[in-house]
Structure 1
Amino acid sequence: MRYYRIDQLRFTLAIMIVALHGGFLKDTSPDLAYFINNGLFRIAVPIFFIISGFFYFSMNHQKKIKWSKKLATIYMTWSVIYSYFWFDFSHPISVRNFLYVINGYHHLWFVPALLYSAFFVVFINKFRVNKFVTIFLLFSMGFILQHAVFNDYIDIDNVNG
């Protein structure tokens, strides 16, 4: 079944993400570019997550497993391709390499995040965890990690060892 409105939304969101990464209006109007790129266009990725969750919930168990394997294969393939840029060959077993494997290299973060989200959905449904407690815990984890990264408590590019 096709959802044409969702397809139209996804197309619009894809344009927003390309414009965001391209620095839309950065040279002509820096203030407006800041507002649009760091305000309006930042809603695109969370909405992509919501759309993915919508389709994930509509799948049966076999399709979920197939989807997860396909997504993991895509992630592993691109990780291998990009490994030239991020893998520290002088320290093959390092925290930095491990963090890139589990979190993704720069823009590849979206794919493992989808896989982690799918895992949490299955976990929540299987063990009947209170959804409000889960929402609070996941929000707290995300907030703490975001705060740690943005305040340089965790600097993934300069992790040694």
Structure 2
Amino acid sequence: MSKPNYSGLDWIKFGAALMVVANHTSPLLSYSAAADFLISNLFTRIAVPIFFMTAGFLFFRKMTEDLLTDRSALRGYMLKTLKLYITAILIYLPLNIYTGYFSESFTAYSLIKDIMFDGTFYHLWYLPALILGLFITFYMYHKMTMKAMLVSASLLYILGLLGDSYYGIMQSSSGIIHVYEGMFTVFDYTRNGLFYAPIYLAIGAWAAKRQLPDRKPFVHAALFAVSLGMMFVEGALLHSAGIPRHDSMYIFALPTTYFLFQWSLQWKVQSNKTFREWRVWVYILHPLAIVLVRGAAKVTHSEQLFISNSLLHFVAVCLVAIGMAAAIVWLIAISRKIQPSRFRRLFVNS
């Protein structure tokens, strides 16, 4: 039996990493605020769901249904993610110091809250969300039926929606508002591993374990386009009514992400391990790339090109982030080649 080809997932994850860059750079703002709103504030909101859904699919398709074996796989995955998170925290420590993270408002509680939920830099929340969300989804997967798991994860997502894009609809209910205000002392947003991640991880698990109908690629492409259009309408209506507290979570982000995910499984494209690792580091390093591009533009007096022009700023940040990612992946590959030979020499000499 030939090995399944999931190269399409690598490409949409790489695209999702660039969407995150777009979310943080507003590439069309210099040209049209309305167009930039659709791209930077709405379309890019499927980027992290893509990460979660593909992670759920790739992780749960390897489940053996033996709890001990699967727990071992979970520990390995979470340890790998934790190592990446610690590395990212250390990378951004100098920037944290520079931006005043360790100011008078810094406390042991705020540090624990950031490490557990919000991230110690603005994009790093994804990694603890993945760890917590996978832990929750894993135990729902082993303790519940697939249907019950999806329902439970959906209920968590609904609770998250009410603390995010749908927050304003609770203004008339002071009791519920107080509950959410209490929660916001523990974390800043409901787009976290408790409310946000489980549903996308669960859908990924569901897709991995059931026999899906064999549809033509254009069907999934069309369903993706329709769902995205409905998400644009949803987001525009919510924002025009001033309802969102934050704008990470939308109802139509669920079908939009799912149909793009299913469509990508049908793409006949090539990928490799190096390309997959680039995606991870583009996500991790892009805020540093933003700082470098802005700093270089000021030093070279090219602010009009690379700061004021939002599209050129976005392109420059993407290129710098990809370049740094390629360099990191190359250095990691070199270290992997050096370390085994060093150990062999030590063993032979002993």
| TM-score, normalised via structure 2 length | 0.39
Query: Between the two proteins, what is the percent identity of the paired residues?
Result: 28
CA spacing shift, 1:120–1:87, aligned 2, 3 Å: farther
Q: Which has the larger radius of gyration?
A: 2
Give the match for residue 93 of structure 1: 108
Query: Residues 30-58 of structure 1: CA distance to partner in whole angstroms, max 9, x if unpaired?
Result: 22111221122221211121111111112
Matched residue type, 2:78? S
Give the match for residue 131 of structure 1: 149
CA spacing shift, 1:118–1:53, aligned 2, 3 Å: same
Give the match for residue 48 of structure 2: 45
CA spacing shift, 1:90–1:80, aligned 2, 3 Å: farther
User: Quick check: 2:140–2:149 contact (8 Å CA) kept in 1?
Assistant: yes
Q: 2:39 aligns with which of 31, 36, 40?
A: 36
If asked which structure has higher relative contact order (CA below 8 Å, sep 6+), I would say 2
CA spacing shift, 1:132–1:18, aligned 2, 3 Å: closer
CA spacing shift, 1:43–1:71, aligned 2, 3 Å: same
* Aligned-partner Cα distance in 1 for 2:76–2:104: 33
Query: Residues 61-120 of structure 1: CA distance to partner in whole angstroms, max 9, x if unpaired?
Result: 2333211101012212323444562345776433x2221121112211100111111111
- Structural RMSD (CA): 2.9
* Aligned-partner Cα distance in 2 for 1:13–1:99: 26
Q: How far off its partner does 1:135 sit?
A: 2.4
* Aligned-partner Cα distance in 2 for 1:133–1:41: 26
SS where residue 29 of structure 2 aligns? Answer: coil
Unaligned runs of 5+ in 1: none
Q: How far off its partner does 1:127 sit?
A: 2.4
Unaligned runs of 5+ in 2: 64-69, 169-176, 189-350
* Aligned-partner Cα distance in 1 for 2:155–2:31: 42
Give the match for residue 109 of structure 1: 125
Give the match for residue 74 of structure 1: 84
* Aligned-partner Cα distance in 2 for 1:141–1:72: 26
| TM-score, normalised via structure 1 length | 0.77
**Paired residues, what number?**
154
User: Quick check: 2:16–2:47 contact (8 Å CA) kept in 1?
Assistant: yes
User: Quick check: 2:12–2:50 contact (8 Å CA) kept in 1?
Assistant: no
User: Quick check: 1:87–1:97 contact (8 Å CA) kept in 2?
Assistant: no
User: Quick check: 1:14–1:44 contact (8 Å CA) kept in 2?
Assistant: yes
